[in-house]
Structure 1
Amino acid sequence: MTNRQIVLDRLPGGERLAPEHFALQTAERPTAGPGEVLLKTRYISLDAANRAWMQGATYRAALAGGQVMAGGGLSEVVQSNVDHLKPGDLVFADAGWQEYAVLPGKHLSKLPDLKPETHLLSVYGVAGLTAYFGFLECGQPKAGDTVVISAAAGSVGSIVGQIAKIKGCRVVGIAGGEEKGRWLTDELGFDAAVDYKSPEFKRQLRAAVPDGIDVYFDNTGGDIFEACLFAMKNHGRIACCGALSSYDGAPPPHGPRGIPGLIVTKRLTLRGFVVMDFADQNARALADLQAWVASGQLKVQEDIIDGLENLPAALIGLLGGENRGKRMVRV
């Protein structure tokens, strides 16, 4: 009747995230009260946003030292005091980094019976929906567009690039290292890949997009954002999904330079978003994503690590670019 938990022992501040910022503790397993549901965690999703939450309030409350680390995942209903859920049902829940959690049942919905169930966290979960809506709704692509994606080998970027190919675009992925670049082009069908770690990054980018960029899907911010900004075509669109470069460690010494003039002269559209903005359209997105996976047009890459105790190292590794595709921890 115990509950293992990973606690955010202290906030990292301007430091890089390290194992000593977390602690493993054991608490008593909770019990569901009226209107509540007891959940057993199966898989915990890892995302760069986990680190952003440590910097202050975002679209969720700021994290504090001493609390169970926040995070969403795939959970099984163990005990239910609501009518619409029963033991054995699967839900996506903001249950935190722990084996068991109690949450109000009114905020939970039964997930469809899809196999493998890990796809409910990747292509049919937040990653897939973020890629779908961020690219199609914010990027407004047209066939023949040149599309550039940063963090292209990650959970969202790898799906964005494949959707762009499905929509008839020319796709350039920005990722770290030649191996990831080969994976993007040889297996996922990207037209080109650029290594942001290379001292020749800007030259490589210019060579990959000689006529400019129509749509830039930004997961990183920072120097990569700046380089792509200057390569945008007139009336280009930028979907601002994340700012990985500023999440971990000291902030960059400056922001992108020349933004006001570029936005005006090139008539650019920059749009930030979070996936919840489009929740009323999820059914349409899931239908498309399932059809593309079934047809083989969309390949799913998952990076699964075993053990609750490995969550801190798994997140640190994700921030360092270890993963290929969607990283999650099997509890």
Structure 2
Amino acid sequence: MVMIKKIILKNHVEGRMVQQSDFDVQSVEFNYEAVELAENEIVIKLELVSVDPYIRGRLSAAKSYAASYKVGEPMIGICVGRILKSNNPKWAVGDHCCGELPWMEIFKFNGNRGIYKVNDKLVPLETYLNILGVVGLTAYHGMREIGEPKSGETLVVSAAAGGVGSIVGQIGKIKGCRVVGIAGSDEKCEFLKRELGFDAAVNYNSPTYRKDLRLACPKGVDIYFDNVGGKISEPIFLLLNQFARIPVCGAISMYNSAPGDSVGPHCQVHLVRTSTRMQGFIVTDYSKKNGEAIRELSQWIVQGKLKGKTTITHGFDQIIPSFLSLFSGSNTGKLLVKMDNTNQKSNL
């Protein structure tokens, strides 16, 4: 008997913080060597799981840009897996695939459905969930299509030590901007300046946050890449320059709030005063341009201009705790879970 684990959603979560008890880790029998495969089916072993803020929205039954997860069914996320068995001419045993996959240790899957081949001989597999994955594409499209960075401008990035924010800031530097990061600790601020080359970084937990932000942006703000919303974003609107641009990527500070509880920035008067453009977006808005984005991102990696910071936790049982940790801001860079059981954390 071969037992494998899967993570099931027990209930939709509305207006409160997500908890471990909202999920059920089940063990089921699955002998992949004996299982029969229909045409085009493959067996996948999960190797890397990306835990992302967008997952929070899908835990709600409310209508959003992505369908809600179904109660009683396995959770799904962007993952990398390895092919263990194949009845599909596109896939050979040992190939690696990437796409939206269930949170199960081993499972059957239609090999023609929404996955693509990745090669760990070209770049580490983690890269396909970081710079060359949804994270990198989100940063690239948000900056290019909405931020429109120009040399000499000031770019401010919230959640700057996270997956998207860390790449946004580096793209800003490539484009010649003065880059100011906002993060939740002095340690993260030092990381942004020392390792990623940000010009300045501000700790939003500091009692002098507003003053520090003004000092870091002596010429005002031309681009604000917003990943968090809420009170962290509010003082930035006072610093906007004429014709500033604000790509709104996320609002993680408000994802677990009950309706009416969230306090966001009162920005309208500042947007009108400065003729600022503020636009929300999701990465799939620009999916037709992904090929161009991946080519340029790859070139920056080869040139040493773009680094992918990754925090990795280990073991299937760390998927839910790692996801929950997103809301406390404990990770630096892209947060991934590797399907081994070393029970330790590492920064790569």
The answer to whether the 8 A contact 2:99-2:116 is kept is no
CA drift at 1:87? 2.4
Structure 2 SS opposite 1:270: strand
**Residues 200-237 of structure 1, C-alpha deviations (whole Å, 9 max, x = no match):** 21121111112211111110011122222232111111
Matches within 5 A, 1:126-205: 126-205=134-213
CA distance in 1, matches of 2:14, 2:80: 29
After TM superposition, what 4+ stretches of structure 1 lie above 6 angstroms from structure 2? none
**Residues 273-321 of structure 1, C-alpha deviations (whole Å, 9 max, x = no match):** 2212222222222222222222222122111111111111111112211
Of 162-171 and 248-257, the range deviating more from structure 2: 248-257
Structure 2 SS opposite 1:197: coil
Residue identity matched to 1:97: W
The answer to whether the 8 A contact 1:17-1:249 is kept is no
Partner of 1:71: 77
Residue identity matched to 2:15: G
CA drift at 1:4? 0.8
CA drift at 1:34? 2.8
Change in 2 beyond 3 A, CA 1:302/1:258: closer
Residue identity matched to 1:93: G
Partner of 1:5: 6
CA distance in 1, matches of 2:22, 2:262: 25
Q: Is 1:281–2:289 an aligned residue pair?
A: yes
Of 317-326 and 9-18, the range deviating more from structure 2: 9-18
Structure 2 SS opposite 1:95: strand
The answer to whether the 8 A contact 2:119-2:125 is kept is no
Structure 2 SS opposite 1:61: coil
Residue 102 of structure 1 is aligned with which of 94, 100, 108?
108
The answer to whether the 8 A contact 1:95-1:101 is kept is no
Q: What TM-score results when the alignment is normalised by the length of structure 2? A: 0.89
Matches within 5 A, 1:315-326: 315-326=323-334
Residue 53 of structure 2 is aligned with which of 30, 45, 48?
48
CA distance in 1, matches of 2:297, 2:221: 25
Structure 1 SS opposite 2:59: helix
Change in 2 beyond 3 A, CA 1:191/1:99: same
Partner of 1:37: 42
Of 189-198 and 281-290, the range deviating more from structure 2: 281-290
CA distance in 2, matches of 1:330, 1:253: 34
Residue 314 of structure 1 is aligned with which of 314, 322, 327?
322
Partner of 1:111: 118
Partner of 1:17: 18
CA distance in 1, matches of 2:171, 2:55: 25
Identify the structure with bigger relative contact order (alpha carbons < 8 Å, sequence gap 6+): 1
Structure 2 SS opposite 1:124: coil
Residue identity matched to 2:97: V
Of 228-237 and 30-39, the range deviating more from structure 2: 30-39
Of 78-87 and 261-270, the range deviating more from structure 2: 78-87
Structure 2 SS opposite 1:57: coil
Q: Is 1:220–2:221 an aligned residue pair?
A: no
Q: What TM-score results when the alignment is normalised by the length of structure 1? A: 0.93
CA distance in 1, matches of 2:141, 2:8: 32
**Residues 25-54 of structure 1, C-alpha deviations (whole Å, 9 max, x = no match):** 012437543333332211000111122221
Gaps of 5+ in 2: 340-348
Of 286-295 and 133-142, the range deviating more from structure 2: 286-295
Q: Is 1:88–2:89 an aligned residue pair?
A: no
Residue identity matched to 1:27: V
CA distance in 2, matches of 1:272, 1:220: 12
User: What is the root-mean-square deviation in Å for CA atoms of aligned residues?
Assistant: 1.9
Q: Is 1:239–2:247 an aligned residue pair?
A: yes
Gaps of 5+ in 1: none
CA drift at 1:129? 1.2
The answer to whether the 8 A contact 1:154-1:326 is kept is yes
